[in-house]
Structure 1
Amino acid sequence: MAHELTLDEFSGMLGNLYQGPLEDIPWATFLNQLNQYLQSKYVTFILRPPSEHSEGLMVNTTGSSSEVTASYNKHFFALDPFVGLPNRQVVTNSEFLSRVDWEESEFFKSFLEPVGVFHILGADIRTSDGAQCRIRVSRGREDAEFTADDKALVAQFIPHLERSIQIHTQLNRIETERNLYAGAVDQLAVGTIILDEDGKVLQTNRVAERLLQDKDGLKLVNEGLQVGNPRDTQEFRRLVKQALQSQKNNLPSVVEALRVQRPSGKADLGIIVRSVPLSAWNEGKQCPSVVIFISDPEQESSAPQEIVKALFDLTPAEAQLAMLLANGLTLDEASDALGISRNTARAHLRSTFSKTGVTRQTMLVRLILRSVATLG
């Protein structure tokens, strides 16, 4: 039997429960604490129950075996009789099934008994946004059965666990969307750098990271940016300061542009500086305050040829030629790169014009670069 929680103990566990969505392994700290206070063998939280079509997503307390988890996900979930519990109600296996039915079940004999589990306490949580979660607490046959006090202890956390699940779901959705949009910007070969309210770098995408590593017109110095020559850097800092002031004064987003020469002699970088509007309830340090967009004319289009081929109904040879032209090669240079004659290249180009409805090479390049192919 678990000892009664003090107010400080309950407050600490509740804090860890709400901290759970931010942990590397969600809710691991809370689950281990619950396991300790209930003097149980394991605590398992199933965020997504397994099915015939997908494996489950579950978090186990320290000491649980990954092999056991895998076997449940792949096979034993279908035999588990301790499922479909009343929503948000804490029950034990002895309340849900007779002792005879429990001990004679294939699930108990093949899965639980070999790992020393006999008593189980649990609750199912079905949230308003469709999540179906389960929490299970287990003890061995030699351990005491779960008591009414044990059930009451877990029941105190169920409403909070449900809210924490909803927070986790929302954060996960936001993170997924952020990664999707960030990936799209990467595919468009646009560098992005986000600055905080002190003008220090908070985040960069892959294109910007490559440009910073090259140190060719763009450098990171003491968490701040230097662009081009000292005069360019001075102008850049003025634009950043102006954008920060606009944000602090809650003015419409300021957008400024700057062209930066590169020491290597490569084509100039194009830079856009704009303030980031904050929400009405935004607070705290290290908030996104300014975003820098960088275009590099030397960056080649990364549109997959298979996508270009499918979008415009081109042959493989026509798609190859079109991509080389989109990346700045002349027709002669493209024919040399492909190892074909100029006449053959011209024939491919005429066929491509016919299929895409354009009449000039510049129009074809613009069509490809503005299509969804670059997001492929």
Structure 2
Amino acid sequence: MQPCLTLESFSDLLGHLYQGPMENIPWVTFLNQLNLQLHSKYVTFILRPPSAHVDGLMVNTTGSSSETTASYNKHFFALDPFVDLPNREVVTLASYVSNDELLQSEFYKNFLEPVDVFHILGADINTCDGAQCRIRISRGRNDQPFGDEEKTLLARFIPHLERSIKLHMQLNRIETERNLYAGAVDQMAVGTIILDETGKVLQTNQVAERLIQEKDGIKLVNDGLQVGTARDTQEFRRLVKQSLLSQKSSNPSVVEAMRVQRPSGRADLGIIVRSVPLSTWSEGKQCPTVVIFISDPEQQSSAPQEIVRALFDFTPAETQLAMLLANGLTLDEASEELGISRNTSRAHLRSTFSKTGVTRQTMLVRLILRSVATLG
């Protein structure tokens, strides 16, 4: 059966293709629709071809099992004759391997035949950013071979698929960088809360989420924030409103600070309210408009001891003492925590002074808290 692609069908498929990078499984809707349009058994998109060192990353249409993907990655990719195709050119397996050669091959007998695949249509896309992608469309041995109509239809989508791949790569880089920076802020024990143009919460990091859940000085009410006392909340809302006005008027970023009392009597929270500059082409609602930074003086340093030890060449005992001091304990309290005498603690402290070049305990604490150890 020859494919019949109306303008409406083409537009629908194209929409799914460009929506692909935002799906949980990229391009799965487009691939399933293409599978139906071409009356094929499977459509497979290989975003990362497998090698001897890494597994491939594949997106399969309904019907292709994870076991099939795993077996291809581990063994059969090395036997696959349908690879390294001319860039962006749609070709068939029959143009590479004769039917008789294919039927006698181990690749067919052990991989294709068990899933009833014989006819394959495909194209490779090698982008300027280094992506090496493959799309493969399969039919069974008793099905109609792929002809010029199917090749022409797939060729129409190849330039769009390449653009969509580039969008996917860019979004993936942005997401990776965002997660990296968010993780660094979490490690530094700084809470971050992002508000939209109405002052409602868009996003929180782990530290801020913990503080909100505790409801001790800051809490979430109807998607908005309440802090400290009624007077604190009034001042906080004034600062947020000022930041919102600053952002809407395209003024330089406004930064305001305040302290917030906690009902539990624990140390006050420190809060920074800052407007978020919009990019030139920002538009629409629910854009990041104001960011709230929160510091909790009672949050202990989460710097891994092995990293502190490696950075400053401390002994295990010196590292334990330094970490307790960095988390606010006095020398006597740290000695009791470690079960050692004050004289032993003082000897460890002198040794850390010698190794770091500092002369006071406060300087040692500041050195550790400002080091990259907190990012470990």
Q: Tell me the equivalent position of 1:206.
A: 206
Q: Tell me the equivalent position of 1:252.
A: 252
CA distance in 2, matches of 1:111, 1:229: 68
Decide which moves more: 70-79 or 186-195. Answer: 70-79
Aligned ranges 1:19-58 → 2 under 5 Å: 19-58=19-58
CA distance in 2, matches of 1:136, 1:11: 22
Identity of aligned residues (%): 80
TM-score (norm 2): 0.99
Q: Tell me the equivalent position of 1:174.
A: 174
Aligned ranges 1:151-166 → 2 under 5 Å: 151-166=151-166
Question: Secondary structure at the residue paired with 1:239?
Answer: helix
Question: Secondary structure at the residue paired with 2:303?
Answer: coil
Question: Secondary structure at the residue paired with 1:243?
Answer: helix
Q: Tell me the equivalent position of 1:322.
A: 322
2 and 32 in structure 1: CA distance in 2 versus 1, 3 angstrom threshold: farther
Question: 5+ residue gaps in structure 2?
Answer: none
**1:152, CA displacement in angstroms?**
0.6
Q: Tell me the equivalent position of 1:183.
A: 183
CA distance in 2, matches of 1:167, 1:239: 37
Q: Tell me the equivalent position of 1:281.
A: 281
Q: Deviations over 1:155-183 (max 9, x none)?
A: 00000000000000000000000000000
CA distance in 1, matches of 2:335, 2:73: 55
**1:92, CA displacement in angstroms?**
0.3
Q: Tell me the equivalent position of 2:89.
A: 89
CA distance in 1, matches of 2:186, 2:3: 54
CA distance in 1, matches of 2:196, 2:96: 55
CA distance in 1, matches of 2:16, 2:2: 19
CA distance in 1, matches of 2:106, 2:286: 55
Q: Tell me the equivalent position of 1:109.
A: 109
CA distance in 2, matches of 1:269, 1:208: 11
**1:329, CA displacement in angstroms?**
0.2
Q: Tell me the equivalent position of 1:373.
A: 373
Q: Tell me the equivalent position of 2:4.
A: 4
CA distance in 1, matches of 2:81, 2:344: 69
**1:97, CA displacement in angstroms?**
1.6
**1:232, CA displacement in angstroms?**
0.6
Q: Tell me the equivalent position of 1:68.
A: 68
Q: Tell me the equivalent position of 2:237.
A: 237
TM-score (norm 1): 0.99
Q: Deviations over 1:2-33 (max 9, x none)?
A: 43111111100000000000001100000000
Question: Secondary structure at the residue paired with 1:202?
Answer: strand
Structure 1 counterpart of 2:33, one-letter code: Q
Structure 1 contact 2–37 (Cα < 8 Å) conserved: no
CA distance in 1, matches of 2:37, 2:98: 27
Question: Secondary structure at the residue paired with 1:366?
Answer: helix
**1:99, CA displacement in angstroms?**
1.9
Q: Tell me the equivalent position of 2:261.
A: 261
Structure 1 counterpart of 2:162, one-letter code: E
Question: 5+ residue gaps in structure 1?
Answer: none
Q: How many residue pairs get matched?
A: 376
Structure 2 counterpart of 1:235, one-letter code: E
**1:105, CA displacement in angstroms?**
1.9
CA distance in 1, matches of 2:67, 2:168: 26
Runs of 4+ in 1 over 6 A off after TM superposition: none
**Considering only aligned residues, what root-mean-square deviation do their CA atoms show, in Å?**
0.6
CA distance in 2, matches of 1:50, 1:316: 43
Question: Secondary structure at the residue paired with 1:21?
Answer: helix
**1:63, CA displacement in angstroms?**
1.2
CA distance in 2, matches of 1:3, 1:163: 24
Q: Tell me the equivalent position of 1:301.
A: 301
Q: Tell me the equivalent position of 1:348.
A: 348
Structure 1 contact 191–294 (Cα < 8 Å) conserved: yes
Question: Secondary structure at the residue paired with 2:300?
Answer: coil
Structure 1 contact 193–293 (Cα < 8 Å) conserved: yes
Question: Secondary structure at the residue paired with 1:30?
Answer: helix
Question: Secondary structure at the residue paired with 1:94?
Answer: helix
